[in-house]
Structure 1
Amino acid sequence: MDFDFFFGCKSTVKPEGDQRPRICPRCHNASVMSAKQRNWLDICWVPIMPTSTKHLWTCNICQWNLKRQDG
């Protein structure tokens, strides 16, 4: 009997906090929003547990992102 396990990391990005649009420094559209990115360990395409979390500014148009600083 042969068992193959598939391990991987999946990343999810969800809106978080203040959702007022801001100007993107790359594409100059008002589409930068606050978001939270989580990386998940998954086995056989099923998310098991989060491995890391980041708070970002992200542009919905050009996919630019920057780690959010407090203050």
Structure 2
Amino acid sequence: MFFFFVCGEHTFRKNVDGYEGIVCQCYNCGNMAGHVIKSHPWFTFCWIPVLPLSMKGHVDVVCNICSFAQPLENRPDVMGMANRGGQQPPPPPHGQAPQGWGQQPPPQPGFRY
């Protein structure tokens, strides 16, 4: 009797809170395709995740084009972009729409409406 078992590794990935929508330059290929991703590698047996290979996971800047991954700790430029650089816009006064809503832009020189 012959049994065939398949073992391997599968990595689960998800976006990191506070870094959603941030796109940065890849240091390997130079394209603007780097995103912050948290990876959790698992050992699989017959395509079923059985054992986590890392308890915390890895937070990396991963390029969507060349698949180059670099630890987030080595990218201070990306860490500074989290949560809009730590700055939040002030809330509008009570009962008013945010600035710029329902207003026309000021006329530009040499341009007629």
TM-score scaled by length of structure 2 = 0.52
Partner of 1:51: 53
Residue 42 of structure 1 corresponds to which residue in structure 2? 44
The amino acid across from 1:54 in the alignment is H
| Greater gyration radius | 2
Unaligned runs of 5+ in 2: 80-113
Deviations 1:13-65 (A, max 9, x none): 32223031011122222211110111112111111232212111111111111
1:2 is displaced (CA, Å) by: 5.2
RMSD between superposed Cα atoms in Å: 2.2
Inter-partner Cα distance in structure 2 for 1:14 and 1:48: 19
Percent identity over the alignment is 27
The residue aligned with 1:62 is: 66
Larger proportion of helix:
2
Counterparts of 1:56 and 1:8, CA distance in 2: 22
Structure ranking higher on relative contact order (CA contacts 8 Å, 6+ apart): 1
Residue segments in structure 1 that go unaligned for 5+ positions in a row: none
Q: What SS is found at the alignment partner of 1:69?
A: helix
**1:14 alignment counterpart:** 14
Q: How many residues align?
A: 71
TM-score, scaled to structure 1:
0.76
